[in-house]
């Protein structure tokens, strides 16, 4: 009973964890105002190019100033809205995970843009990641107004008077501060400010599994085979990575001695499914030093073999490009590691190197060249020997020798006058 409750709780919590949520800073906006949004969700990849603003199902024609950053698993987005009233659509077009399955359905949220009698502001940028003293641009969209801006991390405050549609620049100092999330409060607006370490000094240890989960419908008393990509998504070499599982699983290899940043290796998993009460839940675990990363395993058990479906068994081939898995070797190159399928076809999980010419063919070529040279030397020697001019003494000696041989009854070739 307790095990069934755990499974039920897991199934209830999972969609909540992977749900996509979009939160705007305001319920409605004025034309040219700064829209701020916080986005949470398990995206495969999300950039500002995946976020659009539509009106009447058509992308707005005006260029929109926008940017996106991810901090502590939350995406922060801002955009300067179009100079037009109406009902607009905020839309994300990117792949994301829902219950362990990759989806790419558009995610939409409505935006109301209308004229108000409030002194709303256009602020650029809508968030900051400063490494030194910084500034921000502000403009009142309606009427003149007083403005107070305060950097919460230091308490530095600036006050000024804004004239409608006249842009002003506000500057702030950035002293030595520890990494933190702070904000710049400008009247009723809060601009997130992220104080972070430089990436070249920050140590990131992370392992990523592809696919991101193993799921589907299976039957009991059968073995299931999977190939899983293990990627070092951090910026430091990882050593002695050991793999284990709380399920009856054979893993090969059981250990990776070295995995460099952005490097990829494939591990083979054979999960033996015996008699299961309910669903099959577990994890494939990668451990190194004091760190561990899990690959969730979630299978429904069926008695009908026709209902068997392994959702992710072809995910590497059908969902991932070779750029995410490895490299595509050129025609003159060979792969020095394993290969796997991808959207573009065979993908090298390793390095591509130029093909070495066969040493056998090289040796044959050298031998043929030596034989040819010897033949040429022999022919030249024979020609020179045949055409060599004899001296008078040599001619007389040769004729005398041939005459003596004739007198003794020996046979000779040619006449006596032959030299």
Reading the chain (419 residues) residue by residue, the pLDDT tens digits are 444 454 444 444 444 444 789 999 999 999 999 999 999 988 888 888 899 888 876 765 455 688 999 988 899 999 999 888 989 999 999 888 887 788 888 999 999 999 988 888 999 999 999 988 999 999 999 889 999 999 998 899 999 999 998 989 999 988 888 888 999 999 989 999 998 755 445 678 889 888 888 888 888 888 888 888 898 888 889 999 999 999 999 999 999 999 988 888 889 899 998 877 778 889 999 999 889 999 998 888 888 888 888 754 444 444 566 766 677 787 778 887 777 777 667 777 767 777 665 556 677 878 888 988 988 888 887 777 666 555 666 666 666 766 666 666 655 555 545 44
Q: Give the C-alpha separation, 375 to 377, whole Å.
A: 5
The Cα-based distances of 190 to 21, 116, 143, 183 in angstroms read 20, 20, 21, 6
Name the residue among 26, 224, 212 with its Cα closest to residue 111.
Answer: 26
The Cα-based distances of 356 to 332, 334, 366 in angstroms read 9, 9, 17
3-state secondary structure of 103: strand
Q: Phi and psi dihedrals of 326, rounded to 5?
A: -175, -130
Q: What is the DSSP string of 230-249?
A: EEE-SSS-EEEEEEEESSSE
- Dihedral angle sign, alpha carbons of residues 130, 187, 23, 113: negative
- Say which residues have a Cβ less than 8 Å from residue 400's Cβ, sequence separation at least 6: none
Which tokens belong to 105?
């359905």
Omega prior to 96 cis, within 30 of 0: no
- Say which residues have a Cβ less than 8 Å from residue 335's Cβ, sequence separation at least 6: 329, 348, 349, 350, 351, 352
């Amino acid at each position: 009973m307790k095990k069934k409750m755990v499974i039920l709780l897991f199934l209830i919590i999972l969609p909540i964890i992977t749900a996509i949520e979009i939160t705007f800073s305001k319920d409605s906006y004025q034309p040219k105002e700064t829209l701020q949004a916080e986005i949470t969700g398990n995206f495969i990849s999300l950039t500002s190019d995946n976020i659009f603003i539509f009106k009447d199902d058509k992308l707005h024609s005006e260029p929109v100033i926008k940017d996106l950053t991810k901090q502590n698993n939350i995406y922060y987005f801002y955009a300067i809205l179009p100079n037009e009233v109406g009902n607009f659509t905020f839309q994300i077009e990117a792949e994301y995970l829902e219950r362990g399955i990759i989806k790419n359905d558009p995610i939409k949220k409505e935006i109301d843009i209308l004229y108000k009698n409030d002194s709303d502001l256009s602020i650029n940028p809508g968030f900051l990641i400063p490494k030194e003293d910084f500034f921000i641009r502000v403009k009142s969209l309606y009427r003149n107004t007083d403005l107070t801006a305060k950097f919460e991390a230091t308490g530095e405050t600036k006050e000024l008077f804004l004239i409608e549609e006249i842009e002003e620049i506000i500057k702030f100092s950035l002293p030595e501060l520890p990494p933190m999330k702070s904000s710049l409060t400008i009247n009723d607006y809060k601009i997130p400010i992220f104080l972070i370490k430089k990436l070249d000094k920050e140590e990131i240890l992370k392992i990523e599994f592809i696919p991101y989960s193993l799921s589907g419908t299976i039957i009991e008393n059968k073995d299931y085979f999977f190939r899983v990509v293990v990627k070092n998504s951090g910026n430091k070499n990882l050593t002695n990575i050991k793999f284990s599982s709380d399920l009856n699983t054979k893993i090969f290899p059981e250990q990776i001695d070295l995995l460099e940043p952005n490097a990829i290796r494939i591990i083979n998993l054979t999960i033996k499914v015996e008699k299961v009460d309910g669903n099959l839940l577990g994890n494939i675990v990668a451990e190194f030093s004091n760190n561990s990363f899990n690959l969730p395993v979630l299978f429904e058990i069926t008695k009908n073999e026709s209902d068997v479906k392994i959702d992710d068994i072809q995910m590497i081939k059908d969902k991932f490009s070779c750029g995410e898995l490895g490299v595509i070797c050129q025609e003159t190159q060979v792969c020095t590691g394993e290969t796997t399928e991808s959207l573009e076809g065979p993908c090298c999980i390793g390095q591509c190197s130029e093909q070495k010419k066969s040493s056998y063919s090289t040796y044959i070529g050298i031998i043929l060249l030596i034989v040819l040279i010897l033949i040429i030397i022999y022919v030249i020697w024979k020609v020179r020997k045949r055409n060599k001019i004899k001296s008078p003494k040599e001619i007389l000696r040769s004729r005398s020798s041939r005459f003596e041989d004739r007198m003794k009854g020996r046979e000779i070739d040619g006449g006596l006058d032959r030299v």
